[in-house]
Chain A
Amino acid sequence: MAGMAFISPAFIILFVFLIVPMIAALYFSLTNWNGVTPLTRSDAYEFVGLENYQRLLLQSGTRQEAFFTSLKNTVYFVLGVVPVQTLLAMSLAVLVNQRWLKGKGFFRTTFYFPSISSSVVISLIFMWMFNSDGIVNQGIRSIFPAYQSVTWLSDSNGILHNLLGLFGVTRDSLGEFGRTEIASISIWDWLSGPSVTMLTIMILNTWTTIGTLMVVFLAALQNIPAQVYEAAYVDGATTMQIFRKITVPLLRPTTFFVVTLGLIGTFQVFDQIYVISSGGPADTTLTIAYLVYRSGFKDQRMGIAAATAIVLFLIIFVFTLIQRRITGGDRAA
């Protein structure tokens, strides 16, 4: 009985505020509740079955357009941030772990520091630095006087769109094909890449997280026994061979963990979007998490919002499984 007494306070909290809400999310995703009408009233909501899911995923219209816009933006965000931050964090950790390096503690502290700060603070600092006459633009202009200021925080053009534009390829070059809509979004828009503003937020996110991830990699590296390296060195392995044949495979469980953390975190990106762009300009930074918030609390559509959240949950789940395959996380444990 002592066991129950010890565990029940924590378990009740987790049950009421994590497990019950998960079930409630599923339930409300099947209703059309607006979030305002008190639930005690009999006409507060109707049970609409899978209609919310249908309007998000299948039925062309504004809901579908919003959802697939947010999906496109979020996937660009995730695929841009996760590989870059993982590789950077791993490289930094390998560098900091070198025997010839002095001041390991200093570097570890410095890289970790940004992650102790609030996401809102980091977002505000970036807004200040990247504003159109901010320090970033001033810095670039002092090096390249001909530089035309980029409005980092309000440029809705996709970066691939801009890149192709340099080669004279535009929205019209693809003719009808580019304008063909898949899930209420034109093919050109699907392929135009994250917007400049989204790119800025991606840089912000990478900048904040590499420190924590570096510390995780560093801990794993320090757990590799020195004898392993000595043996390889004695056998005449080159530095590159040691890195590829020893370090990377031994880091596999850590890499799996870092990528999983990265996926779960980036798929839910919200704070930075809320503070910096509120989904704009032109919905190019509208992420799924922000759409959940907007549908629920701005448009007063709790049913749709709950359905969006459930779809996000499934997407994260599937991506985690796929990456388990790719990084070999299933073999690592």
Chain B
Amino acid sequence: MAAEALPRLGEVSPVVRLVRRLVPYVGYTLLITAALSQIVPFVLTVANSFKCLPAVSAAPIAFLPTPPFFVECQADGVTRSASETTSGITFNPALEGYQSVFEANLGRWLFNTAFIALAIMLLRLLFDSLAGYALARIRFPGNRIIFTIILGTMMIPGVVLLIPRFIILKQLGMLNAYSGIIIPLMADAFGIFLMKQFFESIPNEIEEAGQVDGANRFIMFFRIILPMATPALTALAIFSFQGAWNNFLDVLIVLGGNQDLWTLPLGLSFLRGGSGRTLIWNEFLAGSVITTLPMAIIFFAFQRYFVEGVNYSGLAGQ
């Protein structure tokens, strides 16, 4: 077969060969164009968050910061025009947007977001791994039914839960309180599934050895099993933190009524022009940068786990 096919490869016409030669160039062009379309909006967002307001509208494409740094946007009570702070693709950075967004209470939103996201993340690490371990390793009556039910909950669309969850939280007196957002989200089906998959891959002998030593199941779990699960726990931590950090719908319904508990996405959506506010571009671009920055840092530090987590979710779907 191979001997028959090989000469055929040699017979390829010059046109086909030329096309083959060109494929990488076309491929690179397409990929670089696509990559630019993904990066440029973020670069421009960062650049414009550091501009004075008139410059944001008049010269949005200026992206190179040049000295003098941190110019004042008001000079003698008059707002400086765009041409005074930009030229061509360069601009003089200013902190107007950041000052204005912190005046709008961004510090508080940042604290709330971090607190809620950390709480949800830590509780999920605990409860999801406990449940995942039970499903993977402990035989008990109802084991399979419970697993089916948990998988089934993954199919319930979040929007369907919007109204009844609001009703239940209202009945429990948990609306407009940290507990109302943290408690319902402190365990999730995806996390349980992820941990179950991981624990199934650990060799049985380790627990058998533990049992011979007479260790209690809980002690064994926390001392021996959980430390082995660091990679899976890291992926789960990242996904939980990201989901909670960026959550909008639940936060809107549960915390919308109490300004002191607003998170970054909720606060930003308010800057967008709710309650008669006008759009101040550099202000909400600055808010967007601050909201994205912690996630970006985590992403670059733990990239591998993001990709792994996506692959796990692919597994869950099959």
Chain A residues in the interface with B (C-beta under 8 A): 1-7, 9-11, 13-14, 16-22, 24-25, 28, 35, 39, 92, 95-96, 98, 100-101, 106-114, 116-121, 124-129, 133-135, 138-139, 207, 211-212, 215-216, 219-220, 234-236, 239, 253-254, 256-257, 260-261, 264, 267-268, 270-271, 274-275, 288-289, 292-293, 296-297, 302, 305-306, 309-310, 312-313, 316-317, 332-333
CA distance A7 to B34 in the complex (A): 45
Residues of A near B24 (CB, < 8 A) are 98, 100-101
B149 at the interface (CB under 8 A from A): yes
Q: With contacts A19-B153, A118-B264 known, is A25 near B318, CB below 8 A?
A: no
Residue-wise, chain B 274-292 has the 8 Å CB interface mask toward A (1 for contact) of 0000010100110110011
B31 & A96 in contact (Cβ 8 Å cutoff): yes
Q: How far is the CB of B180 from chain A (nearest CB, A)?
A: 10
Q: How many A-B residue pairs have CB under 8 A?
A: 275
B192 in complex: contacting residue of A10, A95, A117, CB < 8 Å: A10
B57 & A133 in contact (Cβ 8 Å cutoff): yes
A120 in complex: contacting residue of B28, B38, B134, B268, CB < 8 Å: B268
Chain B's interface size range is: 35 or more
Interface residue ranges of B88-137 to A (CB < 8 Å): 127-128, 130-131, 133-135
A253 & B318 in contact (Cβ 8 Å cutoff): yes
Give the top 8 A-B pairs by smallest Cβ distance, nearest first: A3-B140, A6-B134, A21-B164, A257-B317, A24-B164, A10-B131, A10-B187, A17-B184
Q: With contacts A138-B60, A312-B157 known, is A16 near B163, CB below 8 A?
A: no
Q: Residue of B at shortest CB range from A9?
A: B127
CA distance A124 to B286 in the complex (A): 11
Q: How far is the CB of B134 from chain A (nearest CB, A)?
A: 4
B203 at the interface (CB under 8 A from A): no
Q: Which of B130, B159, B217, B284 has most chain A Cβ within 10 Å? A: B159
A3 & B134 in contact (Cβ 8 Å cutoff): yes
Q: How far is the CB of A29 from chain B (nearest CB, A)?
A: 9
B192 & A2 in contact (Cβ 8 Å cutoff): no
Task: Say whether chain B's binding surface is mostly helix, strand, loop, or mixed.
Answer: helix
Residues of B near A92 (CB, < 8 A) are 31, 34
Which of B70-78, B227-235, B244-252 is the interface stretch? B244-252
B140 & A1 in contact (Cβ 8 Å cutoff): yes
B166 & A296 in contact (Cβ 8 Å cutoff): yes
21 contacts between A and B (CB under 8 A): A6-B133, A17-B165, A18-B153, A39-B171, A96-B31, A100-B23, A113-B42, A114-B42, A116-B298, A117-B291, A124-B268, A126-B41, A128-B48, A207-B37, A215-B307, A234-B5, A235-B1, A257-B317, A260-B317, A264-B157, A267-B157
